[in-house]
Amino acid sequence: MRQRWQDLFAASFDVLLYDLTSTYFESDPPSDDEDKRRFGYSRDKRGDCVQVVIALVVTPQGFPLAYEVLPGNTSDKATLRSSCKRLRRTTATRNASG
């Protein structure tokens, strides 16, 4: 896929961009411990709502390479290392399988 994107869109993979956002839910807090909706720092100033955090990795041209939905109480500074590890594993798996 990488080569195809490079051929079609002149996409560059030398630099990758990482960003976080969150989205909130106007609902009751979850009762299931596996549910990722949690109270946390709200970028939307909605501390009264549960939310999830979304991590996204894109090329400088805006092509998405990876995303992860994290619990809403995840600290921003705790996300980069795990996202990089996940991206490396995913990339290595794709390269190994051709």
Contact criterion met (CB below 8 Å) for 24 and 36: no
Write down the pLDDT at residue 24: 96
Has residue 7 been placed in a domain?
Answer: no
Structural domain including 73 reads 14-97
Q: Return the closest-CA partner of residue 23 out of 47, 61, 54.
A: 54
Has residue 1 been placed in a domain?
Answer: no
Total domain count, the chain: 1
Contact criterion met (CB below 8 Å) for 26 and 49: yes
Q: Return the closest-CA partner of residue 19 out of 59, 71, 72, 73.
A: 59
Specify the DSSP class assigned to residue 48: T
Write down the pLDDT at residue 97: 45
Has residue 31 been placed in a domain?
Answer: yes
Q: Return the closest-CA partner of residue 17 out of 80, 95, 91.
A: 80
Write down the pLDDT at residue 94: 52
Has residue 29 been placed in a domain?
Answer: yes
Ranges in the chain, pLDDT < 50: 93, 96-98
For the full predicted model, state whether its pTM sits above 0.85. Answer: no
Has residue 3 been placed in a domain?
Answer: no
